[in-house]
Amino acid sequence: MTAPVIAIDGPSASGKGTVAERVARALGFHYLDSGALYRLVALAAQRGGIALDDVPGLARTAGAMQIEFREGRAWLSGEDVSEALRAEAVGVAASRVAAAPEVRACLLDRQRGFRAPPGLVADGRDMGSVVFPDAALKVFLTAGVEIRAQRRHKQLMEKGMYAKMPDVVEELRQRDDRDMKRTVAPLKHYPDAVFLDTTAISVDEAVASVLAEWRNRSGK
């Protein structure tokens, strides 16, 4: 049988990555952070001098880059780039890269390649709608933009990166707008996805909610 997939989609800074990783750990499933793939493309493009509006160049980069994930770390051409991927500039560039249909097409098979027994938890923006449309459980995880901005601001400050809260809010609004209005795989809540708003609940509660839904559906 095909390994089951739990697809968790949602906007930036909604907490989907943390929730997805913890759900995967609890179930002993593999974990896919699809956003890391787009950050890798953005980083590889930056290092290769590829402009973000050079879509053919970005697609070639996506198809040719040598990547590996080991023990929670990301490797690009044999170099551990885990810290570089967390840079805010790389995240902003990744949002633009992800809007290119050619890049998304190049990464589709790579993402599906993470599906393996005993199962996979994948987070992103189109995991349930495009990459794994047959996912056993689809979750759309979100939170109010102000709450998401607070979370992102805290992350930036912990990294020693100064940021003004109004700027963080505006950046998130722009990312949401790009993600929701792109022509291919736009970010939105599909009817077959469980809607989970984390504005007023903790990470522990969100994880528990996803696990309860999974156990209810799988009988495990």
Is 212 annotated among the ligand-binding residues?
no
Rounded CA-CA distance 178/194 in Å is 23
Contact 9, 16 (CB under 8 A): yes
Is 142 annotated among the ligand-binding residues?
no
Residue 149's Cβ-count burial label (10 Å; 0-12, 13-18, 19+) is buried
Is 4 annotated among the ligand-binding residues?
no
Contact 138, 193 (CB under 8 A): yes
Residue 216 carries which side chain, given as an amino acid letter? N
Is 16 annotated among the ligand-binding residues?
yes
Identify the residue whose tokens are 């050079």.
Answer: 54
Contact 16, 136 (CB under 8 A): no
Is 94 annotated among the ligand-binding residues?
no
Structure-block tokens of residue 55? 């879509």
Q: Map residue 52 onto helix, strand or coil.
A: coil
Is 61 annotated among the ligand-binding residues?
no
Rounded CA-CA distance 136/214 in Å is 8
Is 11 annotated among the ligand-binding residues?
yes
Alpha helices in 52-199 (DSSP H): 55-64, 82-85, 88-97, 101-112, 145-158, 165-181
Is 18 annotated among the ligand-binding residues?
yes
Is 14 annotated among the ligand-binding residues?
yes
Rounded CA-CA distance 146/168 in Å is 9
Indicate the annotated binding residues.
Answer: 10-18
Indicate the annotated binding residues for ATP.
Answer: 10-18
